[in-house]
Structure 1
Amino acid sequence: MPRSILITCLGFLLVGPPAGFAADPDPAALQERMKKLIDRAERSVVALVISHNPKHDAPSPTQPWKLGEYQPHNPFPPTLRVPERDKLDLSDARNIGDYTLGSGIVIDAEQRLVLTCYHLIEGARKIYARPSGTGGAYADIVAADARSDLAVLRLHLSSPKLTAVKFADVRTEDTPRAKASVTRGQWVISLAHPFAAGLTDGKASASWGIVSNVSRKAPLPVGADDVRSGYLYQCGSLIQTDARLNMGCSGGGVFNLDGELIGLTSAAAAVAGSESAGGFAMPMDSIYRGIVEVLKTGEEVEYGFLGVAPGLMSQPPEEPGLKVNGVTPGSPADIARVQQSDLIHAVNGRPIVEEQDLFLLIGGALAGREVTLTVLRGHATLHLKATLAKFQHPYATIASNRPASVYGLRVEYSSLLAQQVNGPGGTRGGLNWQSVIVQELEPKSRAEAAFKQAGIESNRWFITAVNDTPTPTPAAFYSAAKKAQTVRLTLSDSLGHTKVVSLP
């Protein structure tokens, strides 16, 4: 019996017919329908060839996203022979053995945007993409985020014939509002380009399997003991599948039987250190979709920060919740009236079953966003709203769309300063949480000159207002300064001293 017929028949025996299938199927008709599903879904799957070869020009340190196209007619050093020049062309399938191989998913056809894994493009000098249904093209990086292992590329196509993927409504757990839509035992199809096999014709390879489990986590690196500063996939966010994933499958798609994307594949090497049958996928749930939407704009992903010191999980286990050991004065948690010894039961309706859940749900909610905390305090259940600050982490980011400087001045969340001093809990005294801090003073800019003239050390002062408008976040700062001919900065330090600096 052909494999595609077998899987369908087993599916009917175990879970009944999927949506759109007849109750008493004809095997040949089911096989044809499965083929059509794959043909439709593969149009959004892209083969990637990534070069880290030092013979390709490195991107500018000030524009690490701009990789450009391969220019075979450019003058080469006389020491670089013609055969070596030919090997630098990533579009030539004969050269793929020299480069990193991967896959990607078209997420915006009009803007020519492709979603893939960060670990594939880290340090890349050239990226070549081969979509289905059109010729290949080189790509630039729009934005990338190592902590989520996600990156968005833009293809150099003048008249693209691309098909964007359709995202599923992914929920890996039951909530009071809706049942889980991705569960153990669910049949899935994986589409990717193992070993860049589809580089010449753009056709993705298909494999099938089931969802082995959800909310899986990868182990922390050797010597690491704090999941708060880890990758998102170490916080229990992964979908595990037994669909076979080989080299080149990272960045491919896991699809449901409606042809909708439920996860972005990452071969086991990305999280466990070696390739193996089966693997993991990052779920395209509300957290990861939110990160993708930020990356599409070219902006940095800013993870959320609450300002609590977590304790042990509550007992008994049927009443889940994470005990709060301490609250940082002035932090988002403090402003929301979270108290020591509270039990945080849920974030935006999603339950806190273990410690990693809090870090995933708060971080994934993103800085500047409001979350609803369900808190158990004694016999009372409270619903507290907190507007998150920014979490500091050590992982690399690439952002092609940075905010325009204000006369050479860029700012950041003041919450980063607290974490630099005292780690993830953030307990620095004298910190003004309702302010921003100086991130950058461009050399020879008007802002740099004004700060020097005023005798101000930029790393000691908080900017609390622009033209008398409070600036609790970078967004508020840039909004207040936008189009203002004169920008008057109100500054304060940890001792309560104030100064005013005018730009230009």
Structure 2
Amino acid sequence: MAFGTRSGFLRSGIAAIAIGAVTFGAIAPVWTTPVQAAEGPASVADLAQGRLDAVVNVSTSQNVQGPGSGNQVPMPQIPEGSPFQEFFDDFFGPQGRGGERGQSRRVQSLGSGFVVDAQQGIVVTNNHVIADADDIEVNFNDGSKLKAELLGKDVKTDLAVLKIDPTKHKLTAVKFGDSQKARIGDWVMAIGNPFGLGGTVTVGIISARNRNINSGPYDNFIQTDAAINRGNSGGPLFNMDGEVIGVNTAIISPSGGSIGIGFAIPTEMAVSVIDQLREFGETRRGWLGVRIQPVTDDVAESLGMKSTTGALVAGLVEGSNVDNKEIQPGDVIVKFDGKTIENARDLPRVVAESPVGKEVEVVVIRKGRQETVKVKLGRLEEFEKKETKDDTDDEGTDKSTEQPDKPASVDVLGMKLAALDDEMRTRFEIAPDVQGVVVTEVAPNSAAAEKRIAPGEVIVDIGQETVGSPDDVEKRVDGLRKEGRKNALLMLASKTGELRFVTVRVE
């Protein structure tokens, strides 16, 4: 299989991307209004006619340096004497498409977009359609063209907003619908520019919702089989009321064409990003300032939870400009600002959609009890800029390393443990602000080895109770056994203080 991205999903940066194929079913009664028939729509002609003019082709161009400039595409590695050797020599050589050595050439690409505000001339498309473009041009269904200005783009959701002069062309806009109301099996219609052919209409159904294709931190795609191919990227996905419920963005494809599996960004995510890009030229996402892990079956059992709902807080991010001190490592966030958190993937998306500076209520499970805490959100982008400037996470903390007398060493769960004194800090190069009990050895094939616990890691707490000595660890594990627990939830700190949770069998 040939894929266009690291995740195995095609996105077209050079000729935009798209979504899947469909076969039409039995003919339904004559189509009169945009309604859904049990057998499927007999025709979407009226629906398409009123929206074709709102969907545009987005054409981009950029200067690419030719061979010898350091930016050229490298020549593919092929066997010596291959029948294709001459072809590749011609194409990639000094006289090929790259032109003379060091010369630049003009590269063009095509994608799709749609008008969302006719009065202001606002067009929505995918970020990867216009990425690195020197010039952007919008082509209309009647053949006319207008230069476009980039108002803003967002890599994380793959969205971009363009502006054209509304006085130079009569514009038709489409409206956003509520993608949350869309159900699996609902009919949808896609319009786009596949393979640069021009406005093309396809019909299919919603195949699935809430798909994660590992393309970004906020994946929540609508999957559809409405035929979408290269060049459809940035085009709209309509419901049968003619409302946009998604922005087509990616396909799974072994050949570069549609096989009936494609993805659209739902409007429940896209609208807030588009509004921010229009107003500010950038996104302004809420930021909780925590590191999270999934709640696995083992974690749920070790915390006495009946289900794996929620997101486990692995630690608070230092310097995160967030008032989040009421949240503690080991908390399981099950509700954020009234929204249920089903899994760890839900939390970043819900937080990002929240206003910066808003004080929200967060429901957590802490030591087997449900508690509500308040947090004032920071801004994610501010933290990311700070991280880019900082060469290290070291905050220069100089905390005392004095420890009370502790037992020298104990063996627990296949680990040899020792007090974290100055000698151990020096031996394992452990940061001064890390506190707990250090792991000095791990027995092969032990419960700890199964979870890849390594010497030099520090046990900070067990089952949400802090441990300060090897004896504390031993007593806590014995207590869990007496309670009938099968696993112990360990919070581990790395040498630099980065936290993670693991569950270790105590049986």
TM-score by length of 2: 0.57
Residues 211-290 of structure 1 mapped to structure 2, 5 A cutoff = 211-219=206-214, 231-232=216-217, 235-268=218-251, 274-278=256-260, 279-285=262-268, 287-290=269-272
Residue of structure 1 in register with 2:202 after alignment: 207
Whether contact under 8 Å (2:60, 2:108) holds in the other structure is yes
Write out per-residue CA displacement over residues 124-167 of structure 1, whole angstroms, 9 at most, x where no aligned residue: 12222123468321111111122221111111443431122111
Write out per-residue CA displacement over residues 312-343 of structure 1, whole angstroms, 9 at most, x where no aligned residue: 41525635112223234675665462123221
Number of positions where the alignment pairs a residue of Structure 1 with one of Structure 2:
329
CA distance in 2 between partners of 1:182 and 1:219 (Å): 22
Residue of structure 2 in register with 1:460 after alignment: none
Identify if the C-alpha distance between structure 1 residues 136 and 330 changes in structure 2 by more than 3 Å, giving closer, same or farther.
closer
The runs of 5 or more residues in structure 1 that have no matched partner are: 56-83, 85-94, 172-180, 199-203, 221-230, 393-412, 431-504
CA distance in 1 between partners of 2:36 and 2:256 (Å): 41
Tell me how far 1:360 sits from its aligned partner. 2.1
The runs of at least 4 aligned residues of structure 1 exceeding 6 Å deviation read 17-20, 22-25
| Of 141, 152, 155, the match for 1:146 | 155
Residue of structure 2 in register with 1:51 after alignment: 61
Residue of structure 1 in register with 2:329 after alignment: 340
1:169 aligns with 2:178: yes
Whether contact under 8 Å (2:118, 2:166) holds in the other structure is no
Identify if the C-alpha distance between structure 1 residues 163 and 369 changes in structure 2 by more than 3 Å, giving closer, same or farther.
farther
Any idea what SS the aligned residue of 2:50 has?
helix
Whether contact under 8 Å (1:301, 1:366) holds in the other structure is no
Q: Which amino acid aligns with 2:196?
A: A
| Of 138, 144, 150, the match for 1:135 | 144
Whether contact under 8 Å (1:116, 1:152) holds in the other structure is yes
Whether contact under 8 Å (1:46, 1:192) holds in the other structure is yes
Tell me how far 1:21 sits from its aligned partner. 4.1
Whether contact under 8 Å (2:322, 2:378) holds in the other structure is no
Identify if the C-alpha distance between structure 1 residues 138 and 8 changes in structure 2 by more than 3 Å, giving closer, same or farther.
farther
| Of 400, 417, 421, the match for 2:386 | 417
Residue of structure 2 in register with 1:197 after alignment: 197
CA distance in 2 between partners of 1:272 and 1:238 (Å): 20
Q: Which amino acid aligns with 1:290?
A: S
Residues 472-491 of structure 1 mapped to structure 2, 5 A cutoff = none
Residue of structure 2 in register with 1:41 after alignment: 51
Residue of structure 2 in register with 1:474 after alignment: none
Write out per-residue CA displacement over residues 233-291 of structure 1, whole angstroms, 9 at most, x where no aligned residue: xx43111111111121001111111111010001327x999443331111110x32111
CA distance in 2 between partners of 1:195 and 1:348 (Å): 43
| Of 263, 286, 289, the match for 1:304 | 286
Whether contact under 8 Å (1:48, 1:127) holds in the other structure is yes
- Of 315-324 and 414-423, more deviation after overlay is shown by 414-423
CA distance in 1 between partners of 2:287 and 2:254 (Å): 28
Whether contact under 8 Å (2:118, 2:171) holds in the other structure is yes
CA distance in 1 between partners of 2:36 and 2:158 (Å): 39
Identify if the C-alpha distance between structure 1 residues 115 and 385 changes in structure 2 by more than 3 Å, giving closer, same or farther.
farther
Identify if the C-alpha distance between structure 1 residues 141 and 305 changes in structure 2 by more than 3 Å, giving closer, same or farther.
same
Any idea what SS the aligned residue of 1:293 has?
helix
Structure having the higher Rg: 2
Identify if the C-alpha distance between structure 1 residues 349 and 272 changes in structure 2 by more than 3 Å, giving closer, same or farther.
farther
Residues 322-333 of structure 1 mapped to structure 2, 5 A cutoff = 322-328=311-317, 331=320
| Of 116, 123, 131, the match for 1:122 | 131
Whether contact under 8 Å (2:149, 2:164) holds in the other structure is yes
1:105 aligns with 2:114: yes
CA distance in 2 between partners of 1:21 and 1:5 (Å): 16
1:185 aligns with 2:185: yes
CA RMSD of aligned residues (A): 3.8
CA distance in 1 between partners of 2:225 and 2:38 (Å): 27
Any idea what SS the aligned residue of 1:215 has?
strand
CA distance in 1 between partners of 2:293 and 2:38 (Å): 54
The runs of 5 or more residues in structure 2 that have no matched partner are: 1-22, 66-98, 100-105, 398-507
- Larger RCO of the pair (alpha carbons < 8 Å, separation 6+): 2
Identify if the C-alpha distance between structure 1 residues 24 and 325 changes in structure 2 by more than 3 Å, giving closer, same or farther.
closer
Whether contact under 8 Å (1:332, 1:387) holds in the other structure is no
Write out per-residue CA displacement over residues 428-453 of structure 1, whole angstroms, 9 at most, x where no aligned residue: 467xxxxxxxxxxxxxxxxxxxxxxx
Identity of aligned residues (%): 30
Identify if the C-alpha distance between structure 1 residues 372 and 267 changes in structure 2 by more than 3 Å, giving closer, same or farther.
same
Q: Which amino acid aligns with 2:207?
A: S
CA distance in 2 between partners of 1:378 and 1:128 (Å): 58
Structure with greater proportional helix content = 1
